[in-house]
Amino acid sequence: MPAGGVTPDSGRAADSTAAVVIDSVGKRFGKRHALRGLSTSIHYGQLTGLVGPDGAGKTTLMRILTGLLEPDAGRVAVAGFDVVADNDAIHVATGYMPQRFGLYEDLSVMENMRLYARLRGMDAEGNAELFAELLDFTRLAPFTARLAGKLSGGMKQKLGLACALMARPAVLLLDEPSVGVDPVSRQDLWRMVQALTDDGMAVVWSTAYLDEAERCDSVLLLNEGQLAFAGPPAELTRRLEGRSFRLEEVGAHRRAVLAEALDLASIGDGVIQGAGVRVMLRAQAGTEQIRALADRTHVRLAAVPPRFEDAFIDLLGGGPGGTSPLAERVPPVQLASDVTVSCRNLTKRFGDFTATEDVSFEVRKGEIFGLLGPNGAGKSTTFKMLCGLLKPSHGEAHVVGLDLRRATGAAKAQLGYMAQKFSLYGLLSVRQNLEFSAGVYGLENAARRARIEEMIDTFGLAPWLSAAPDSLPLGFKQRLALACAVMHRPPVLFLDEPTSGVDPITRREFWTHINGLARRGVTVMVTTHFMDEAEYCDRVAMLYRARLIALDTPDALKRGAANARRPDPTMEDAFIHLVEAAA
């Protein structure tokens, strides 16, 4: 808990006047309405979550609140100052942490903090106490001499937060602070923000993670530039009472059951949770269809309490269907061996630093295999060694029985790869990107034209063919990246944080395709920070400090974290439990 230094003066904290007043605000970019007639208020001493699908206007609203954008219509007052008329005062009254905080990677932690203090017109030497407090608060004190560029993702966010808190703002604005941050660091961020709101600061936290929204005091849900809901998240969740169910212990054919359930008219949403399938009924829909499905598959149907995510999806009109048009066109994978990916004693050292140490596992055909771990635990290094991008210092990795570092071109075509942040050629159009992927995987003439048309058709890319990938809505960008990765129908698919920063609807559509491909026998290797995503995996490998600390099904990992106080732990609980047990 910080002392008074970090927080605004307590006089303001005590009263309940609004920290932010938004009055019929509108903002247009060209013809597109980013925000329309938005009116609401945000209060001191509260953590307010800002949620909504991609393109809903979250970032636009954030930038208006910080005085970086001028609204076209309406008025916004932050900490009593008008964002247009008193623009200079806004910068003093607010702390802002953009999606990628502007840290200077070549400066140390301490130098970054000094710089931000001076930028705020503060004397760095005279504020030794504040510095010590911030370092203690963020637990960065042992790392003051480390270059910001060498910090892990979670530590960078904490340093960004320390810099944003420098001027003791009355209102703190955080734009997706937890993207790419592991659950342990995320927990730290939460603890810090909680302490700040307890002391009276108003904190706005925009996020694509709905479990985070659920923990906020109040939520602003944006959709297509309009306010769809404002209030405590529980209030929205309560509307869903009696509509959430779980098909328990479905086991091996849970993907088929999920697909079937999602195609039912009465089901609005569904996800895999370990061995079970969680579904949400549409409004006014009966339970007959889902009961029939449960009976047919001989599984138990249990009512479960609704989550904020259910309410969110419901408000947006339900998730996508369960059938993947992509997987339907893919012929079942035929492979000689049942083991598709394997590694033995895999070790990688960079100088003195060991990134991966003695990791061994085997992945079977058609399995979805997750690699989890805190930032810097060695996930990416292990992942890169498996797909041949890094040479192991010791041990070996095989994909479909081949060492990819020595493999020929044809052998490498056994693998599909989707990198973080959808690596697409920004200078090429959508069609040119597809043409390139087809060509580089050696698809020729008629086969290539047919496959490209198939991808355009499957993913609905026709209206975007001559657009640049960067101008696409995020959902389409992800479809394009997936299309490029699976165009050559690889039996093994590598996904490196495939849905980082992507909204829940787009994420569901993505997993519908992945589930479909897995049912066709495609092996899927996935790294993720997203615990809901880990639930889709058949097995999860947990890495911590370069070592494999657990390898089991999501349900088994969750059971391991159960105790009297927490009988039904979430995947996130399991993650934190494992890391703490290993530390």
Partner 1 sequence: MSQRSGIFNRTRLRAQFTKEVLSILRDPRSRMVVFVPPLLQLLVFAFAATLEVRNLDIAVHDQDAGRWSHELVSRLDSAGFVDQVRHVHSRRELRSLIDRAEVIAALEIPADFSRTIAAGGSGEVQVLVDGRRSNSGQITVGYLSAIAADVGAQVSGEALPAAPVLVRNWFNPNLTYRWFIVPGLSGILALFSALLITSLSIARERELGTFDQLLVSPTSTPEIIVSKSLPALAIGTVLGLLMMGAAVGLFGIPFSGSFWLLLASLVLFILSVVGIGLMISAISATQQQAILGAFSIGVPAVLMSGFATPVENMPTLLQWLAQGIPLTHFLIIVEGSFLKAMSPGDILASLWPLALIALVSLTMATLFVRGRLQ
Rule CB under 8 A: choose which of 107, 124, 419, 551 binds partner 1. 419
**Whole-number minimum distance, CB 409 to partner 1, in Å?**
3
User: Is residue 102 close enough to count as binding partner 1 by CB under 8 A?
Assistant: no
User: Is residue 104 close enough to count as binding partner 1 by CB under 8 A?
Assistant: no
User: Is residue 524 close enough to count as binding partner 1 by CB under 8 A?
Assistant: no
How far is 44 from 200, CA to CA, in rounded Å?
6
User: Is residue 387 close enough to count as binding partner 1 by CB under 8 A?
Assistant: yes
**Whole-number minimum distance, CB 504 to partner 1, in Å?**
24
Residues in the chain: 583
User: Is residue 383 close enough to count as binding partner 1 by CB under 8 A?
Assistant: no
How far is 307 from 77, CA to CA, in rounded Å?
33
Whether the Cβ atoms of residue 248 and residue 276 lie closer than 8 Å to each other: yes
265: which 2 tokens? 């008219």
- Please choose, out of 95-103, 176-184, 294-302, 381-389, the segment that lies near partner 1 by the rule CB under 8 A: 381-389
- Please choose, out of 32-40, 178-186, 190-198, 387-395, the segment that lies near partner 1 by the rule CB under 8 A: 387-395
| Edge-to-edge order in the sheet of strand 94-97 | 94-97, 171-175, 202-206, 47-51, 218-223, 226-231
**Whole-number minimum distance, CB 561 to partner 1, in Å?**
34
**Whole-number minimum distance, CB 472 to partner 1, in Å?**
15
Q: Which amino acid would we find at residue 280?
A: M
- Please choose, out of 189-197, 236-244, 245-253, 418-426, the segment that lies near partner 1 by the rule CB under 8 A: 418-426
- Please choose, out of 248-256, 315-323, 339-347, 433-441, the segment that lies near partner 1 by the rule CB under 8 A: 433-441
- State which of positions 476-505 bind partner 1 (CB under 8 A): 488, 494
Nearest residue (CB) to partner 1, 166 versus 443: 443
How far is 100 from 179, CA to CA, in rounded Å?
9
DSSP summary character for residue 204:
E
User: Is residue 450 close enough to count as binding partner 1 by CB under 8 A?
Assistant: no
Handedness of CA 89, 93, 99, 105 (dihedral sign): positive
Whether the Cβ atoms of residue 512 and residue 262 lie closer than 8 Å to each other: yes
**Whole-number minimum distance, CB 467 to partner 1, in Å?**
13
Name, in order, each residue with C-beta under 8 angstroms of 157's C-beta and a sequence gap of 6 or more.
97, 101, 177, 178, 181, 185, 189
User: Is residue 440 close enough to count as binding partner 1 by CB under 8 A?
Assistant: yes
Nearest residue (CB) to partner 1, 196 versus 522: 522
**Whole-number minimum distance, CB 352 to partner 1, in Å?**
16
**Whole-number minimum distance, CB 493 to partner 1, in Å?**
11
- Are β-strands 353-364 and 339-350 bridged in parallel, bridged antiparallel, or unpaired? antiparallel
User: Is residue 390 close enough to count as binding partner 1 by CB under 8 A?
Assistant: yes
Whether the Cβ atoms of residue 239 and residue 231 lie closer than 8 Å to each other: no
User: Is residue 409 close enough to count as binding partner 1 by CB under 8 A?
Assistant: yes
Rule CB under 8 A: choose which of 11, 410, 466, 567 binds partner 1. 410
Element spanning 326, H or E: helix 325-329
Rule CB under 8 A: choose which of 323, 423, 500, 553 binds partner 1. 423
Name the 3-class secondary structure at 168: coil
Nearest residue (CB) to partner 1, 23 versus 435: 435
- Backbone phi and psi for residue 464, each to the nearest 5 degrees, phi listed first: -110, 5
- Please choose, out of 143-151, 196-204, 436-444, 529-537, the segment that lies near partner 1 by the rule CB under 8 A: 436-444
- Are β-strands 539-544 and 547-552 bridged in parallel, bridged antiparallel, or unpaired? antiparallel
- Are β-strands 226-231 and 218-223 bridged in parallel, bridged antiparallel, or unpaired? antiparallel
CB neighbours (10 Å) of residue 468? 16
User: Is residue 441 close enough to count as binding partner 1 by CB under 8 A?
Assistant: yes
- Please choose, out of 197-205, 281-289, 306-314, 386-394, the segment that lies near partner 1 by the rule CB under 8 A: 386-394
Q: Which amino acid would we find at residue 418?
A: M
User: Is residue 427 close enough to count as binding partner 1 by CB under 8 A?
Assistant: yes
User: Is residue 351 close enough to count as binding partner 1 by CB under 8 A?
Assistant: no
User: Is residue 412 close enough to count as binding partner 1 by CB under 8 A?
Assistant: yes
Whether the Cβ atoms of residue 509 and residue 271 lie closer than 8 Å to each other: no
DSSP string for residues in 105-126? TTSBHHHHHHHHHHHTT--SGG
Binding footprint of partner 1 on the chain (CB under 8 A): 384, 387-391, 404-405, 408-413, 415, 417, 419-421, 423-428, 432, 435-436, 438-444, 447-448, 488, 494
